[in-house]
Amino acid sequence: MKLVRYNHPLRYTSPFDQIFNQAFGLRTSQGFHNGSLSTPATDLIEGEERFTLRVEVPGLAKEHLNLEINQDRLTLKANQASEDKTASSEIHYARTIQLPKGIDASGIKATLENGILKVDIPKSSEAQTRRIDIA
Amino acid sequence: MENTATAPSIIQASTRVPYHQVETIDNGQRLRVFLPGAAKDTIELNVESSKLILTASVIDNTLPANAQIVHQEIDSGNFKISFELNDRIDVEKITAIYENGVLDINLHYIPETIKSISIA
């Protein structure tokens, strides 16, 4: 019998560590996947004057992203073809979000930084909460 | 993670393991680690003994005043992961590039030296 030393170039510190991490709150990011059409993880935050949408899009530059608004539906599409044609390095995202009522669609602005797409969605002046002083 | 009363955090004080991939490159391997929301200057990559240890902080984790979370899917916390390197990796030649929330860590093998032994 021939014995061959198994010498993988790297491995996780310990499979037990991963189980331990899961059990005690050290979680693995699961919000995005490569190699297939997927749904990116999203947060929606409501402020006094605007909504802020945050979308995880790591690995994508702004030229790979397409953001469209159709009435009250905001659609984000992302496509990045791989140079080496391997499925594992291709990225495809798509997500449509129903926007809340009372927004100013003309004032929507988006920025991309460190793999997070941040979309500022201003509320229309009618929808903003106004404080009324009592005389 | 420090938190202040005036800047409530969306994110709870916890640590998460980032999504990552391993790819084969010429004479080595590449670790792709996804760190969305982490600024480059918060990323620390250290080799301690035979372990490669990566930590990174998410910077935009505060809510504006009087804001509330309507919907939350993005995992919370800063990033931390470690890998054990075997002795084939040249620790002195590890390089890393961070772009668009993804850290590419290039690990190169130490060239094998084959020495012929003459048989007398």
Establish if B101 belongs to a structural domain.
Answer: yes
Q: Residue A14: its pLDDT value, please?
A: 42
Establish if B113 belongs to a structural domain.
Answer: no
For an interface test with A, the pick among B17, B42, B68 (most A C-beta atoms closer than 10 Å) comes out as B17
Establish if B7 belongs to a structural domain.
Answer: no
Establish if B52 belongs to a structural domain.
Answer: yes
Query: Taking 60 as the threshold, does the pLDDT of residue A87 lie above it?
Result: no
Q: Which residue of B has its CA nearest to A9?
A: B86
DSSP string, A53-118: EEEE-TT--GGGEEEEEETTEEEEEEEE--TT--GGG-EEEEEEEEPPSSB-GGG-EEEEETTEEE
ipTM: 0.78
The two three-digit tokens of residue A7, written as one number: 């010498």
When the pLDDT of each residue in chain A is averaged and rounded to a whole number, the result is 72
Cα distance between residue A57 and residue A42, in whole Å: 10
Establish if B43 belongs to a structural domain.
Answer: yes
Q: Residue B38 belongs to what domain range?
A: 15-65+72-108
The two three-digit tokens of residue B39, written as one number: 């600024």
Establish if B119 belongs to a structural domain.
Answer: no
Query: Taking 90 as the threshold, does the pLDDT of residue A63 lie above it?
Result: yes
Q: How far is CA A25 from CA A20, B1, B13, B38, B57, in A?
A: 9, 14, 10, 19, 16
Give the contacts of A77 (CB within 8 A, at least 6 positions apart): A65, A66, A68, A93, A94
| Structure confidence by residue, pLDDT tens digits, B34-56 | 999 999 999 999 999 889 999 99
| Structure confidence by residue, pLDDT tens digits, A2-25 | 444 333 333 333 444 444 444 443
Q: Is the pTM of this model over 0.80?
A: no
Tell me whether A51 touches chain B (CB under 8 Å): yes
Query: Taking 90 as the threshold, does the pLDDT of residue A113 lie above it?
Result: yes
Q: Residue A52: its pLDDT value, please?
A: 92
Domains of chain A: 31-122 (2.60.40.790)
Domains of chain B: total: 1
Establish if B28 belongs to a structural domain.
Answer: yes
- Comparing CB atoms, the residue among B66, B74, B107 nearest residue A10 is B107
The number of angstroms, rounded, from the C-alpha of A89 to the middle of its chain's C-alpha atoms is 17
Q: What is the CATH number of the domain that holds B85?
A: 2.60.40.790
